[in-house]
Structure 1
Amino acid sequence: MSEANLLTDDGEAESDELLESRRRLGIKLKLARQTKGLTLKELAKRSQCSESLLSKAENGRALPSLPLIHRLVRVLETNISWLFEEGEPDDSPVFRAGTRPIVTLDDRPGDWAGISFERIIPYKGGHLLQSNIHHIAIGAKSGAAISHEGEETGYILRGQIDLILDGVVYSLKEGDSFCFRSHIPHSYRNTGVEPASILWTCTPPTF
């Protein structure tokens, strides 16, 4: 799988929303890199990608793949949701129904389309846990398997999904739960006839 989706010469046909999403992501990547005091070359080496790709991403000309974003946030000691969220997290310990931030990756062509994350614990530095409700449209899937440090657990709130762990497929339905070490390559897909939702918690925070 390609490490990025690149804008083509007919990029003007893309929506303003998609272009703005790329621009915001690039600004945050550059800010995180500069905050860590890293050059493009240093970050590229540590995240195992090309310097030219990082430059394109920072300038809104490329959208890194999810596996690459995972490597970048590990090096930059930040979080995927911080890269995609538009606002700052609320300081309140209580998050009311209908007010929780929702992160959507629908603007990623081919990857994660139809999937959004409802933040149970809005990202903020210092949290040891991260918890989201993954809302998954019919037929949507999480793209290429990813792996990282940590541990994850989840509970199927509604619908039916396949959870794929190191190539082994587990069919899960409403009321089922799971737990696994995050170094195991993992992905999922909605195999049901209705949208699915998963309460998903992991430590340390990665999304």
Structure 2
Amino acid sequence: SINMLHRIARALGTSIGELFTELDDRKVHVLRAGTRPALSEGAPRRGKGIKLESLTPFILRGLLQAQLHVIDVGGASDGAIEHEGEEVGYVVEGRLELTVDGESVVLEPGDSFFFESTRPHSYRNVGDTVARVVWVNSPPTY
């Protein structure tokens, strides 16, 4: 699970991205649609249904990381997580329930959010269509 990858990366003092990405020294990185690295969390019938597509490459000592979270109908994060940093997001499509430190809010297309990552947080798709959210973490955690 993604939670397990978080724990492994934290124990190793790194990020999930560093575990899976080759480093290079290009000055400009382009990740084209359909070729972006992605992590998947289970299948919708198991209550997961989340795919995380990287919008930024892993860069050693990078300050941020952006992903497109694609959350199937009924998809949800694997429980609440907490870690160092901050997060900001923008809902492109669908309806997302975001819970931070026990407080839940439903977000719709055009809504954005920000929170400190040290607060326990989780999310789930509460709509009847796939949800797509541009999600940025600083520092990188995936």
Relative to its length, the structure with more helix (as a share) is 1
CA apart distance, 1:99: 2.3
Match runs of 1:20-169 below 5 Å: 66=3, 68-83=4-19, 85=20, 88=22, 91=26, 92-106=28-42, 113-169=48-104
TM-score normalised to the size of structure 1? 0.60
The CA RMSD measured in Å over matched residues stands at 2.3
CA contact (8 A) 2:90 2:111 kept: yes
Taking a change above 3 Å as real, the CA distance of residues 105 and 122 of structure 1, as seen in their structure-2 partners, is farther
| Length, aligned pairs only | 139
Instruction: Indicate the SS of the match to 2:128.
Output: coil
SS in 1 for 2:11: helix
Structure number with greater CO (CA < 8 Å, separation at least 6) is 2
Structure 1: distance between partners of 2:16 and 2:116: 19
Aligned to 2:105: 170
Question: Are 1:154 and 1:199, in contact at CA under 8 Å, matched by a contact in 2?
Answer: yes
User: What percentage of aligned pairs have identical amino acids?
Assistant: 42
Displacement of 1:103 after TM fit?
1.7
Aligned to 1:201: 136
2:81 and 2:122 in contact (8 A); partners too: yes
- The TM-score with structure 2 as length reference comes to 0.85
Using the alignment, how far apart are the partners of 1:174 and 1:95 within structure 2?
Answer: 24
- Name the one with the larger strand percent: 2
State the Cα distance separating 1:65 from its structure 2 match: 7.0
What 5-or-longer segments of structure 1 have no aligned partner?
1-63
